Amino acid sequence: MSEAQVINQVEPFPQPQRSNSIADELGKLLDLLKSEFPKAINILFEFDGKLKLHVDVRTGEEVSTAEEKLEILCAGTFSQIHHGATPHHPFFHRVTALVDR
């Protein structure tokens, strides 16, 4: 058998099926949250052993709305929902939740 025939018989390695990366999943979740909270000043994730979501808003009314929406959004993905001050922004309010996904 010639060298050209051997090369033609070699099959490429199969490409591994790529599951959704963490970044892709968080991107989809962020898009959903931005559509649900269009008035939010900032929506961000924090990881310190547990994944947390922070939604920063301007008014107390928006805090109540955010807490209510997070309770039912994504079939219970968010838990331990609470609010407090936004670091370094005294006029904003922060709603925080654990992401159970």
pLDDT in tens, 23-56: 999 999 999 999 999 999 999 999 999 999 999 9
Mean of per-residue pLDDT scores for the chain: 88
Query: What residue spans define the domains of the chain?
Result: 23-99
Give the up-direction half-sphere exposure of residue 90: CA atoms within 13 A in the CB hemisphere: 0
Q: Quote the percentage of the chain above a pLDDT of 90.
A: 72
Q: Going by C-beta distance under 8 Å and a sequence separation of 6 or more, which residues neighbour residue 18?
A: none
Residue listed under structure tokens 């929506």: 43
Task: With a cut of 70, say whether residue 8 has pLDDT above it.
Answer: no
Could you tell me if 34 and 40 are in contact, meaning their C-beta atoms sit under 8 angstroms apart? yes
In DSSP terms, which residues pair with 57 in a beta bridge?
93
